[in-house]
Structures are given as structure tokens and as C-alpha cells.
Structure 1
Amino acid sequence: MSSETTERRRLAAIMFTDMVGFSKRAQENETVALELLRTSQRLQRENFALFHGHEVKSTGDGFLAEFPSALQATQCAIAFQRALHQHNTTQPVSHAFQVRIGIHVGEVVQRDSDIYGDGVNIAARIEPLAVGGGICLSETVYAQVHNKLEEALAPLDSPKLKNIDMPLGVYRVLLPWQEPLPADPVKPSPSRRKLLSLGAVAVSALGSAGWLLTRRTSQPKTPPASVGEPPDQKSVAVLPFVNMSADKSDEYLSDGMTEELLNALAKVPNLRVPGRTSCFAFKGKSGEAIFRDVGEKLHVRFVLEGSVRKAGKQLRITAQLIKAADGFHVWSETYDREMTNVLTIQSEIAGKVVAALKGKLGVDDAQQLAKKPTKSIPAYELYLKGHRAFLKNTEAGWKEALKYFKQAIQRDPGYALAYTGLADTYSWAGIALVESQKAWATAKELAQKALTLDPNLAEAHLSLGIVLASTFDWTEAEKALRRAIALNPNLAFAYDQLGWVKTVCGDFDEGLSLIQKATELDPLSALFHADYAFYLEYARRYDEMILQAKKALTIDPNFSFAYHLLGWAEVWKGNPAAGIVHFEKARALDTQPQFLTDLGYAYARIGERAKAEQVLRDLETQAQTRFVAPGLRAMIYLGLGEKEKALDWLEKSYDQQDGSCGNFKVDPLFDSIRNEPRFQALLKKIKFPD
């Protein structure tokens, strides 16, 4: 009879153990040696069971075992060594013994009941480095556990692994009862060590070069509580890659790799990928339940994480796919490259990762994979800084964004994404920083330039749609925004802006449906939750408006726009005094004239006319040195009940294409003058669709 041998490849955390000096002891006293071996096997098996380890086979005086995660394998090793240390303290010297342990995470081949492959070989070569009876971890394991342990870790100096050609970092676990080696660092206290390790991870994100990623791959010691599967099972979140380089300034490499993967995966048909804001909310975060936390908060089935390490002219990028519900490793790969053009490398590897994940995620090819946005690394870094500043949604943030995007374009005049970033900043800052008509004209020119450079860039169509809506070209704005969504169905910002267009034109059902889609794609974006509240205001759904604004504040407690919205919700519910409390918080956080105006209107509503008039004077003073939108002064006059003066300023608002004009049709602020002939004339000029 012939038997068929089956093989299966998978990722595993592998542990090799070995009893120090067993052969010599057996020669000296076989009876004692076998007694000690039985004690060693008993202690190891007890701890295997505690940490979900599987004994693959005995190696004579040691074991080959595997675990569901690197953390569980390391915790098991520490627990065993602690038990062994306690045993040795109760025994005479003749009955004390030591065990070396090596741990690695890698791909294994399972053949019947045994496992083989490079992952097993590397673990076997690491184990002898655990001198004096200790624990050594591969760089892969270190990346996943270094900020989850009470014990400190120290790198070995240029470790040599027998028959392993590829250079590999190895770390030793500093057990408190062991004598330190000369190269070991001073061990900080547990509380200090925790802060240091968290700080090390916090500088991770998008940038540099690494080995099997991250810092949180573990399963709980008990089965996880039931987690509802996301409605769309083809979903993956890209967590910020860890910067494993010695130079922390190389973080731009890990951040860039994360951005590249987000962009590439977002173009895969029928795959839901949470937006950048939500993914980067987990930057520097760790913990045993991190993957379940990501799965629950971002509603994804899988998590892609990784690391980047730069060493001289060598770049190593590692990525792995993990099931969110239980931390199970689905796929992993390491890419070694010569440090030439980093952006080309990032694009290449993003394409390879997406291709590798197709089968794992059950999706089709990407529509457009990783077209290099720029060849200039300085321009790319400036773009990233500008994008981060823009998302602050504050006056200071917009000023910073304008500076960085302009510098990026100076570095690379052909950088289409930088033009879109600058266009969006002008569009959003038009009512806060720059005269509106000038802002819209500049934004339109920049968006068109981006489209000339890359006609299929979704962000360029989005930028054009935003500025067209700002200038009341509603039909063309909707076309541009829908084109952006067609090119990138995961572009949450496009749904947000199309939702605004539909809402201000009076289609509340579709507008709210679109902004809800944006929050689903980027659930940890304070801006999108705040915009959801904004659109609910126009639909007169004030209780829901409050809930959404509070969600935004849960994500970002210092988000001035959310306090602004809470204040208006209270005003419309008949509590302007309560609204003032929120308006004052917004004003304390941001210097936009809008937030001062909010206070002026609320003062007028509670009968504090003198305070309202003082706000008008303050706005007039500000207008001497900066742009103050005419619509802001109209708001206060509406609060004071001076309709004709309000209409005078609203007509000036239209003449200057002030951004507030876009809200005329639906904003409750204008209900008191909605039937006034002068206001009706303004509505006709803005040409809202029926």
C-alpha cells in the first residue's frame, strides 16, 4: 500500500529548546541526567499548555514547538525559565540545570505531523546563542513583542548563525536573575521601560525599513469574545508600518510605504480599505487585543502591517496579513532591496503585496497599481507634511499646509498630488484665510493642472469638484466628484464632498447616505463625523447632530469644528446660552473669525446686544489686516433681528462668492429671511437645482 504525503505551508511562531550540557551529564551520571531531563520536559509541557503551544516533537534533550503568535511563544519561554529558576533555587548544585531557548516567526511546511523549512532552521540556529540558559529572539519576533513585555530586550552584537547566509538580528531577553552580559544595556524600571518602548513604536508609521513587523501580533490566552464579522468580508486595514531603522529620521520611509499600500489597495475593485485617518489613528498603539480592536473599530476582517529597516544601502521591507478576529497570521513576505530610488521601491513592493494578497482576500486586480507620484523624495516628504497639516482642519493647519504643498511643487513641478493638496487647502481656506474669489480661482487652476498631469488621478477630480461646488457650478461639481469615486471607490473625502453638494442642494436623503459612507470608509476621522453633524443640521435633525458631533470629539477632544456644531445644535434647540459654552471652547481652540461670529450671534439671541455689537466691531478690526467673509457679519445682524443690514452683507457675500452662499438654500440661519424678495433673488443667482 502506498500512502500519500500531504504538505501545507503556513506561518508559525517556532520555538527550539535545548538542555545545556545534557550529554556530559549523562556520561557522568545517567540516572541524575534522566531525572533532570524529565523535570525539564514536565516544566516545558506545562507551560506549552498554558500558552497554547503545540509540541511538534522531542529533539532528545529539547523540543520543537509552535505557537499561534510570537508573543505567546515568548511569554511561554519566560514563564518556563522563571519556573526553572525557582526549581534550581530549591535544589543542590548537582541537580540544577539550564535550558536554552530560541524563537522565530516564519513560514513552515507541515508534512504529516512534522514541520520543516527556513522558519524552523532559523529558530534552531538562534537557540545556541542563548548563552547561560536564556532566551533569544529573532528580529521578527522582537518587532512583535518588544513593547509588550515587562522584561527588557538587548540586541546581540553581529550574531553569526550557522548555515544562514542572510544577516539576521537577534535579541536576548534580559531575565532578572541572569548575570548581564557586557553589551547589555542598563535595565530600566518596568514603568520607565514601558514608556520607552511605547515611545519607540510611536515614531513608527510610514517610513523606513523593517523585518517582520510589528509589535502586537498575539492572541489572548483565552478564546476571544465573539466579534461580529464585518458586513463586507473583503476588507483590510493598513496599519502604519514600523520604522525599525537605527535612525529615527528614516520614519518617512515607513510612512511612505504605508501610504503607498493604502493607495494601491484602495484601487482594488470590491475591496474595502479604511481611510488614512482611521489607519493612522493606530500609529504607535499596541496590546494583545490590537487586531480585534482594529477589526471592531474599522469593521475589517484583515489587517496588513509591516516594518521597514534601512541599514547602509540596504532596505528591508516586511509585510504580513493578519486575521483581525484572532490574530492568526495568514501571509507574510520580506523584500530586500538596494537603497536606490525609495519611491520606485515602494511602488514596486506595493504592487507585489497587492498581487500576493489577491488570493488571500478573494479580490480582483487593482485598476491602477502604484503609479509613482513623484521621483523627488523631498517633495514627497513635504506632501506628507502638508496632508497631515491640512487634516487638522484649523487655521494654523491650513497655513502650514499651504507652505508645505507649495514647497513640494517647487521641488517637483510635475507632482500632481501636491497640486491637489494645494487646491483643496485654498478651497477650504477660502472663507478663513484668503479672499474667496481669489481662493476659488487659484484652486481651480491648481486642480486643472493636476488633471493635465494625471487625468486618471481620483484626487484631482475631487479637487475640481470641490472648487466647482464652491463657485456654485453644482452639475459639473457632481460629475467631477462622481468621477473621483469611480476612479477610487475607497476615497472617503469624495463621498464627504458629494454629500455636501447633495445636502446643500436639498437632497438630504442622498447627502446623508453619502456622508455615512464616508464615515464607514474612514470611521476614525473626526472631520467626517463632524461633517455628518453639519449635514444633519441642514436636515433639522438636531438630536442626531449632537450625537455625531460628540463622536467627533471622542476621536479628537480638541476639534474646534465639533464644538462649533454642538453650539449651533443647542441654538436651534432653543438653548443659545448652552450654545455659548461650546462656542467659547471652539474659539479657545482656533482663531478663525467664524468662531468669534458664532459667539456674536448667540449673544444677540440671549439679549446681550452690547456683546454682539462688540463682536461686530472686533470683526471690523480684524478685516483691516485679514480676510473676513461678509457672510459672517450678516449672521450677527440676523441674530439682532436687523434683516436689511443682514441682506446688505449677504449681497456682498454673493458678490465676493463667499463660501457661506452655498448654504443659503438649507441653513436654518436664513429661515427668518427666506421669503424676503432680496433673499429670493440671491437664491436664483446661485442656481440651486430643483
Structure 2
Amino acid sequence: MDNSLRSTRLDGFFCELKRRKVYRVAAGYAVVSWLLIQVAATVFPPLEIPAWALRLLVVTILTGFPIALVLAWAFDVGAGGIQVTGPAAPADDCPPALKGKGRNLYVLAAVGTVVALGVGLIIWPRTVGRKPDKSIAVLPFDNLSNDPENAFFTDGLHDDVLTSLANVGDLKVISRTSVLPYRGKGHNMRDIGRALGVSAILEGSVRRSGNRIRLVVQLIDARTDQHLWAEDYDRDLTDVFAIQSALAQEIAGQLKAKLSADEKARLETKPTQSHDAYMLYVRARSLANGSDTEERKKAIPLLEQAIQLDPNFGLAYAQLSRLQSWIYFSIDPTPARLESARSAAEQAMRLQPDLAESHLAVGFFHYYGERDYDSALKEFNIARDGLPNDADVIRAIGAIQRRQGKWEKSTKSYRSAVSRSPKDPVLIRNLALNYIAARDYENAAKTFDKAVRLAPQDFEIKSLRAWVDVYWKGDFARFDKLLAESPEGPDTSPVAALARFNVQFFQRKFDDALASLARTPFENMRGETSAPLPKPFLAAQVHRAKGDAEQARRAYEQALPAAEQALAASPTDAARHALVGLIYAGLGRNQEAVASGRRAAEILPESKDAFNGPILIISLSRIFTMIGAHEEAISLLQKSLGTPGGITFHELRLDPTWDPLRNDPVFQQVLAREAAKKR
């Protein structure tokens, strides 16, 4: 009798749950909750929303579940709005489906919803933040020797260990640039692991005494701070390469990384038989890795000395070629420099054709020296087979892809490189430049903000971040703040001087722009291309914008000899042809101006270089504008507006260069159409 009464009451309770739509609310809540979690799990990581936000969402959903059930019991929503639910119905009216097994199914469904969300709350924090099991950061080794000279040796050993690990395709290895900030003691391993996205950290110390070397290392689990493995290598100095090989193989084993026969063979190959040549190479590599151009150039004689000591030192030839190619591309595009790069690359390939660095050197020669991007990409892909974890190799591939116009692939490559070098502001800046080219200013701003946080003293990165606001919104507030914070007096770098000038020119503060030029000690500045910009050329632009034709002509005449001399030294440099064309246009030498501008665009068309090609089209547009060929200028500008890396709406709106076009009806239509897109 008692059991029958309890069953009747229980049936009545579940009938009431049905009548009050509690089951429906529970099911709907579960479905919506699941969808919210799935969407958040997909969207949050690309937007770099912290993992705790996802956990907070799950907690909120769990907390809201019983509240939703209580509200469903107490209230009903009908034609009259929200109303208090009326008295219970008799138990006999209960549908059969809610009695016996049918009722149990509803109970199980409701309980299952709560349990699933609860398990998600417990499990998710463990899985969201989980790092790849085969990822490692090698912190800079501590130099325990008294002789400061041994610091080069210690850093060189650290670099070589990183390179050895980069050979192992089954590992994710963080780059040198991103681990350097953690030099010295006092860092929390868990914090480092989270910052670099790794599961393991290697730290060590080096003591060199006479011809003996002692390397003490320990491998640490970055998630738990537990020591996984330690070793003490006490060897003769001549065994340094054997130490590197043994260490890399041991780490791969500890992290359960697969090591192929080819990878093992590469690890066991000695780069040179001469210890003295190796030490020269180590010093040169340290200089070449720096950011100061003059310091980097000092690496060249050291590499040449290393090659004299060991003419079979393929790695030294490869490093020498890369450095010569970079100097050619950046500051000295002369035939002699290019020949030096070519010769060293050929020697590296002749001596060690299977060396990844040899292919990297040949790739950079094709890239920087010949702008042969297909050949460069082929070599970089071969290099990646040998150095699958090297961020510089992946960066090089991304650089080629964007010059080929493969912007999405390029951005993917840069993201991959950043994952291996998350603390490299220059690499992150390059990723941001891709976003600018794609006119994705929101992501460009976020990415530059990361770079600024990593390099708060780097004026160039901060100025590029400020330009994003100009391209995006026509907003100079960030630039005004940046320039106001700069020290009084002349700018300390040509980058800062040119940035100040450009902003003042865009803001039509012409007298301020001329005053800034007068203060700067730099006779030449460098903009977006390889052509040095003479100070008189910049002054001529201001005088022309002010309407002072005579002053502008004199300034153009002053700028011409230096520009023609630079072009004569490098007659295949497209940017130098463009600069000479602009000066000719300022002097009224219209036919020569157009010929030079067209020659620049022919040497480096957008179809050959999607990164720099659009800049040369803008230069040709400027030439046409200056000589009064408005139809040709506007036609090119319309094309540029739709090209990745082309001119932006706010540049057209603000730059005084385009003032001669402003009364042209077609130009006005172009601006109006672009303005409508911004609304």
C-alpha cells in the first residue's frame, strides 16, 4: 500500500515536471549549452581569448542550469506573457510515457546533461591549456668560466644544441630569439612553459678550463616543474660536437620523439675538424644574429678567417653567403657584393650538398640577390627537410610566398614560425605586415601590439603600429603621442626622422616638416624600398605641396646627383629607378620621368613581386600626378586600391601628393566610393 502511494506521488511529480515544461527547458538548455561551448572552443583560440574564459563559460552554464529549472517550474510563458504556473493537475491525467520506463528515460536525460557539463568543467581546464608533449625550449646556458671570452663559446654551444634539435622533425623547438630573454636564474619554469607553449625545458651550465669542457644539463617538465632527466658531460674540448649530438639524441629519447636515420646521421656530422675555425665561426654567428648593421658586417672577416683555417668548412661558407646576400638586399646592391654571395653559396653546396644550411644559403642568394622566388622557395623547402623546426627557415618560406602573391599561405607560414619563436618582435612584425597588406587592420593592430610589448624601445615597430591607425581610421593620435614622447632635438635614427617627417607632411604641418629635416643629421633616409631618400628630395616634396615651385626645383636639383649616383651603382634596382623618375618629374623632365617610373615597374612588377611591386605602381602614379597626366594616375590608383599591399583610402584622402587630383570628378568618385565602403 505504501509503495503504491509513493509510486503514485512520484508519477504525479514527473507529470507536473512535464506540465510545467521543465523537461523541455532542460533539453533546450542542454542543446544551447553544448552549442555555446563548441562555438567558444572553436572561436576563442584564434582570437587569443584566455583559456580561463572558456572555463568561466562552463561554470556559468552549470550555475544557470538549476536556476533555469526552478524558473521553468515556477513560471510559464504564454499569450499573456510571463505568468505564475497554476495548480497541479491530477495524477491520473499523466501521460503513459511519463510512467515506468518512459519516466526513467527523462530522468536519465536530465541527470546526464548535468553530469556531462560537470565532467566538461573538470576535464576542460586540463585539455585546453595542454601543451604538445614533444615541445621544448632550451634556455641560454650559464657561463661558469672566469674568462669572459668563454661567453662566446657558451652561447655558441647553446646555438648548436638548438640547431641540432631543429633537425628532429618530431619535436617542436623554440627559437634562440625567444629563449634569450630568459637568460640567468630566477625564472619560474611553469611560467616559461606557458609563455613559450612548451611541455619541457632544458637548462644548463658550461664550465671551460683549458682543453676541458663540462656541460651540466637538466630536463624539466614545464607543466609540473619536475625534473625529468639530468646529465653531466665532462669531455675534452675536441669532443664538443659529440656532446651536442649525444645531448640532442638523449633529449629526443626523453621526449619520445622519433629520430630517423637521416636525422641521426646529420646530428653526428662534424661541421669542421678545426677547433679554431669553429670558434671564429661561433663569434661570427653571434655578430650576424644581431640587429645592428655595422656589427653584422664585422662577422664577414671572421668567417673568411675561419675558411682560411678550414677550406672545407661548408657551414662557414653558408653563413658568409647568407650575410653577403642580406647586405646586398638591404644596403649595398652592388655587383661585387652579389658575386661574393654567389661564390660562397656555390662553395657551400660543393662541399656539403646535403647540409640544410647550404640550401638555405642558395635560397637567400636567389631571394635577396636575384629575386628568383621560385628557385628560392625550392631551396628553402629542401632546407626545411633538414631543419623542420627552424623558425628562420619557415619565416623565409613565408617571405617568399607573399612575394609570390600567396598571401594566405604566407600568413599561415608566419604563424607557424611565430609558434616556434613567440618572443621575436621582428618575426611578429612581419606577420602584422601581412595583415596590413590584406587590409585586416584589426588583426594588424593586435599583432603589432604584441610586438610593441616585446620591444617597447623599438621605434620602428611602434611607428608601424601607429601607421595602422592611419590606414585604418585616418587617426594620427597614436603617432602624435609617439612623437611627443621622443627626446628633444634631432631624431636619433633615420627611421625616426623619416617617420616624423612623413606624419608632419600628411598632417600638412609643412614648416614643422622642413624644420625636422633641418635638424636631422642624416643626409639619406630609407623608406619602404631599398632606395636611399636624399634629404633634399624630401624637402622638395614639401616645397611643392606648399606651392613654392622655385624652392622645390632647387631642392630637386640638389637631390638628383646623389640619386643618379646610387642608380649607377645598382642599375637593376627598381626602387632607385623610381626615385630618379620622381626627381625628373619635379624638374619637368616628363618623358624621362615616365620612362624611369615604367622601368621600375617593369623590373619588379606586381606579378613578380606582390610585396614590393605595388609600391612601385604607387610611385608611377605619383609621377603621372606630378606631370599632369591625371587620367593615367587615377587609373593606376584605382587598381592599387584593390591590390593587397596597395594604397589605402586614407592615404589618398590625406596625402598632399594627391592634391592635384582632388578637383578631378573621377578622383572624387573614387574617394566617394571608398568612403561608402567604410560606413
TM range (shorter): 0.5 to 0.7
- Matched residue, 2:137: 237
SS of the equivalent of 2:149 reads: helix
Distance 1:640 1:575, change over 3 A: farther
For structure 2, the residue ranges without an aligned partner over 5 or more in a row are 1-124, 515-535, 541-554, 622-630, 645-679
Structure 1 residues 549 and 276 mapped into 2: Cα distance closer, same or farther (>3 Å)?
same
1:484 aligned onto 2:392: no
> Is 1:356 aligned to 2:250, yes or no?
yes
> In the TM superposition, what is the alpha-carbon distance from 1:246 to its structure 2 partner?
3.3
Looking at structure 1, the residues matched to 366 and 389 of structure 2 have their Cα atoms a distance apart, in angstroms, of 22
Q: Does 1:282 align with 2:182?
A: yes
1:551-586 deviation per Cα after TM superposition (whole angstroms, max 9, x unaligned): 223223343542453354344233468658769979
1:365-393 Cα offsets, whole Å, 9 max, x none, are 25121422223344333333333333333
2:156 is aligned to: 256
Provide the rounded CA distance (Å) in 1 between the counterparts of 2:561 and 2:466: 25
Which deviates further from its counterpart, 555-564 or 658-667? Answer: 658-667
Partner of residue 631 from structure 1, selected from 575, 588, 591: 575
Name the CA shift for 1:377/1:472 in 2 (closer, same or farther; >3 Å): same
1:70 corresponds to: none
Change (3 A) 1:417 1:655: farther
After superposition, the Cα gap between the structure-2 partners of 1:399 and 1:561, relative to the gap in structure 1 and judged at 3 Å, is farther
Query: By percentage of residues, which structure has more strand?
Result: 1
What SS is found at the alignment partner of 1:326?
coil
1:551 matches 2:450: yes
Indicate if the aligned counterparts of 1:635 and 1:669 stay in contact, CA closer than 8 A. no
Q: In terms of Rg, which structure is larger?
A: 2
Q: Closer, same or farther in 2 for the Cα pair 1:353/1:481, shift >3 Å? A: same
Cα 1:512–1:664 change in 2 (3 A) is closer
For the 8 Å contact 1:602–1:639, the answer to whether it is kept is no
Tell me, in whole angstroms, the C-alpha distance in 2 between the residues paired with 1:385 and 1:671: 43
Partner of 1:8: none
Identity rate of aligned residues, in percent? 26
Of 298, 309, 321, the residue aligned with 1:423 is 321
Aligned-pair CA distance for 1:261 = 1.5
Match of 1:605 in 2: 506
Q: Match of 1:631, as an amino acid?
A: A
Change in 2 beyond 3 A, CA 1:269/1:248: same
Aligned to 1:299: 197
After superposition, the Cα gap between the structure-2 partners of 1:323 and 1:312, relative to the gap in structure 1 and judged at 3 Å, is same
The CA distance in 1 between the partners of 2:599 and 2:291, in whole Å, is 26
The alpha-carbon distance between structure 1 residues 598 and 385, as it changes in their structure 2 partners (threshold 3 A), is farther
Determine helix, strand or coil for the equivalent of 1:248. coil
Letter in 2 for 1:509: E
Instruction: Check whether the contact 2:136–2:172 (CA below 8 A) recurs between aligned residues.
Output: yes
Deviation sequence 1:94-143 (CA, Å, 0-9, x none): xxxxxxxxxxxxxxxxxxxxxxxxxxxxxxxxxxxxxxxxxxxxxxxxxx
Provide the C-alpha distance between the structure 2 equivalents of 1:579 and 1:403, rounded to a whole number of angstroms.
41
Task: Give me the TM-score of the superposition, normalised by structure 2.
Answer: 0.57
- Measured in 2, the distance between the counterparts of 1:570 and 1:645 equals 36
Specify the SS of the correspondent of 1:332.
strand
Residue 461 of structure 1 corresponds to 359
Q: Which deviates more, 482-491 or 413-422?
A: 413-422
Which residue of 2 is the match for residue 433 of structure 1? 331
Counterpart of 1:375 in structure 2 is 273
Q: How far is 1:511 from its partner?
A: 0.6
What CA distance in whole angstroms lies between the structure 1 residues aligned with 2:497 and 2:314? 36
The separation in 1 between residues aligned to 2:592 and 2:499, in whole angstroms, is 18
User: Residues 512 and 634 from structure 1, CA distance in 2 versus in 1: closer, same or farther, beyond 3 angstroms?
Assistant: same
Could you say which structure has the greater relative contact order, defined with CA pairs below 8 angstroms and 6 or more residues apart? 1
Contact persistence 2:401–2:409 (CA under 8 A) = yes
**SS across alignment from 1:232:** coil
Alpha-carbon distance in structure 2 between the residues aligned to 1:283 and 1:559 = 21
Cα drift, residue 512 of structure 1: 0.3
Instruction: Read off the aligned partner of 1:528 and give its amino acid letter.
Output: L
Deviations 1:563-611 (A, max 9, x none): 45335434423346865876997994544xx776656655543446674
Equivalenced residue count is: 450
RMSD value, Cα: 4.2
For residues 655 and 510 of structure 1, do their structure 2 counterparts lie closer, same or farther at Cα, with a shift above 3 Å needed? closer
**Inter-partner Cα distance in structure 1 for 2:300 and 2:632:** 40
- Corresponding residue number in structure 2 for 1:520: 419
Return the letter of the residue paired with 1:299. Answer: G
1:281 is matched by which residue type in structure 2?
Answer: P
